[in-house]
Amino acid sequence: MPITKRSTLTQYLIEERRRYPGADGEFNSLVLDVALACKAISNAVAQGELAGLHGDHVEADMHTTNIQGETQKKLDVLSNNYFIHTNEWSGTLAGMASEEMEHPYQIPSQYPRGKYLLVFDPLDGSSNIDVNVSVGSIFSILRCAGKQNTDVKEADFLQKGSKQVAAGYALYGPTTMLILTVGRGVVGFTLDPVLGEFMLTHENIQIPADTQEFAINASNSRFWEAPIKRYIAECLEGKTGPREKEFNMRWIASMVAEAHRILMRGGVFMYPRDSKDPSKPGRLRLLYEANPIGFIIEQAGGRVSTGHEALLDVTPTSLHQRIGVVFGSANEVERIESYHKMPRTEAFHSPLFGERGLFRE
């Protein structure tokens, strides 16, 4: 298709807005500012060490850590700054929250404040930056229920995932893509590096209900709960096991890249709650990782769960809350949920869990 026949992100947003005659254009301007941040991050990621951007962020000779105690990469900090600077001035936002900031970000007093909240993981998969594997940015847009023109509070952000107005991610891979849902399905844009525009390349993305591909960090297997152990053991048994089909496994360690693979060809991703560190109920963060990706997955016909309950119905209790996450092809996620509902003895009613089984308890 000639490039000029494709819609740009701007055209897509304007055409969506025509469905809501009362809409004032603030939402569109917010999404376009987020897209600008993603273009700037895409450039920085592509420059990499040419611009001296690999490695850890250092301030006053010290490595810095974020609120989760994780060492910040230079590109984590830079990406966070791009998100802030492209969005703080516009008057569309009441405030922002990010993986890289302990507290909500207040809109500086010289700028007007708006009705939306922007929550983001500026760079997901940071451990992959220095090894040149795909990373991405994840964002979620919420309405701010608090009073306009007062400082935002943590409580304003503690909304269920089902309340999201829009969610998306940019993936910095062989091509840079922007995946977006405004609650009416999922669309994908590819960045044309010459035009500097996100062009609509993937309409109405749908996740197949069945799959033979799973993603999990298997090094945690001894810490998993029984239902996950059972599910994985059955996948590994392949054709001769209860599933009667072979499975394939992938683990990129960038959730955003795993989510993208699942949107493109199906699959199931698990970072479940486990017993590795009792202070951390899961690895991924609810507000800026699990919820936006979960919203996109469900809008593409997939399913997202904690294993124990529907993820988008979880009421958050803190800004940086962690949670167990299972998402992807609907039938597989339902199967995993059903294993969580079984009584313990039944979850283990399989030769795989016997004395000489693959997964002894």
Q: How far is the CB of 124 from Mn ion (least distance, A)?
A: 4
Angle ∠(71,75,214) on CA atoms, nearest 5 = 75
CB of 53 vs Mn ion, minimal distance in Å: 15
Residue 259 interacts with, from Mn ion, ligand AHG, none (CB under 5-8 Å by kind): none
Please state the φ and ψ torsions of residue 119, each to the nearest 5 degrees. Answer: -125, 135
CB-hemisphere CA count at 13 Å for 4? 0
Does residue number 254 form part of the binding site for ligand AHG (CB under 6 A)? yes
Residue 133, SS3?
A: coil
Cβ pair 226, 344 in contact under 8 A: yes
Q: Is 121 in the site for Mn ion (CB under 5 A)?
A: yes
Q: Which stretch binds ligand AHG (CB under 6 A): 14-22, 42-50, 121-129, 168-176?
A: 121-129
Residue 175 near ligand AHG by CB under 6 A: no
Strands 187-192 and 176-181: antiparallel
Choice from 86, 126, 134, 306 touching ligand AHG (CB under 6 A) = 126
The answer to the question of residue 328 lying near ligand AHG (CB under 6 A) is no
Q: Contacts with ligand AHG in 53-112 (CB under 6 A)?
A: 70, 99
Among 125, 161, 227, 267, interactor with ligand AHG by CB under 6 A = 125
Question: By CB under 5 A, is residue 298 in contact with Mn ion?
Answer: no
On the 0-12 / 13-18 / 19+ scale of CB atoms within 10 A, 200 is middle
Q: Which does 254 bind (CB under 5 to 8 A by kind): ligand AHG, Mn ion, none?
A: ligand AHG
Q: Considering the complex, what minimum distance in angstroms separates the CB of residue 218 from ligand AHG?
A: 10
Which among ligand AHG, Mn ion, none contacts residue 79 (Cβ within 5 to 8 A by kind)?
none
Token pair of 182 as six digits = 């405004």
Q: How many residues bind Mn ion (CB under 5 A)?
A: 4
Return d(Cα 356, Cα 354) in angstroms, integer: 5
**Does 305 contact ligand AHG by CB under 6 A?**
no
Residues 264-283 that bind ligand AHG (CB under 6 A): 271, 283
Contact between 140 and ligand AHG (CB under 6 A)? Answer: no
* Distance separating alpha carbons of residues 355 and 340, to the nearest angstrom: 22
- DSSP symbol at 222: G
- Give every CB contact of residue 23 below 8 A, 6+ residues apart in sequence: 17
Q: Which residues between 64 and 103 bind Mn ion (CB under 5 A)?
A: 99
Q: How far is CA 116 from CA 69, 187, 280, in A?
A: 28, 22, 29
Binding site for ligand AHG (CB under 6 A): 70, 99, 121, 124-127, 217, 253-255, 271, 283
